[in-house]
Amino acid sequence: MIRAGALVLAAALLLALPGTAGAQIYRWVDERGVPHYTEGIDSVPERFRATAVALPMRKEPPAPAPAAGAPAGGPSGATGEATIRFTPGQRILVDARLNGSTSARLMLDTGADRTVVAPRVIAAAGISLTRGTAAGTMKGATGEAQVQSVPVESIEVGAAKVDRLVVISHDIDQSGVDGLLGRDFLDQFTVTIDNAQGVVTLSPKKR
């Protein structure tokens, strides 16, 4: 599914689980008429800030305290950067690694609050599927599904890495895809999507 002619999104997922508030995404158009999408007004070139448009984002309730054994404080230790190439008009697929070794083919989805990974991939990474930090309901076009949130040590895309992330264990029923790369990972970086060139860049946020 294509939103605003550039962002590739999965079917709308409403996760009844604690989430991470997303940074504001802005749309701006350069001198060639090419639209760009990036996080935070500081990431928009100064000469284009006056015409940048903030995209609407869903507000989420405050996250409850983590369950016993859950990683405290949410994602941490975001490092590195990555360049992802894609065919404009098609899904943006990324090759990710769980816990430094297990490969996963994820669809980049700026509309998903949480990263979703197939249970078989989580199990292949040596992560127990019985130690989920919380249970919840995921709603989609075909109905509701009971899902489980599971802590992972790290997720990497290229050299971009986020430590201590809690992902949703669920099969999204998309051919050739092991899950979704959501905003809980993406919000740790400055994300720029250049639809004309077919390039996504993840770069460290300025502190």
Tally the C-alpha atoms within 13 A of residue 110's C-alpha that lie toward its C-beta: 25
Angle at 43 between CA 42 and CA 48, to 5 degrees: 85
Instruction: Please report, for the chain, the start and end positions of each structural domain, with discontinuous segments joined by +.
Output: 24-52, 90-187
Task: Kindly state the tokens that stand for 42.
Answer: 């500081």
Top pLDDT among 93 and 52 is at 93
Element (H, E) at 183: helix 183-186
Among 15-19, 32-36, 68-72, 95-99, the range of highest mean pLDDT:
95-99
Distance CA 85, CA 88 (A): 9
**Burial class for 140, CB neighbours closer than 10 Å (0-12, 13-18, 19+):** middle
- In CATH, which of 3.40.50.10210, 3.60.15.10, 2.40.70.10, 1.10.220.10 is domain 90-187? 2.40.70.10
Report the alpha-carbon distance of residue 118 to residue 125 in Å, rounded.
11
Q: Model confidence over 138-150: pLDDT tens digits?
A: 665 556 667 788 8
Q: What pTM was estimated for this model as a whole?
A: 0.63
Mean pLDDT over 197-203 rounds to 95
Q: pLDDT tens digits, residue range 125-181?
A: 888 776 655 666 666 555 666 778 889 999 999 999 999 999 998 888 788 999 999
Q: How far apart (Å, rounded) are the C-alpha atoms in residues 65 and 18? A: 9
Q: Has residue 76 got a pLDDT over 80? A: no
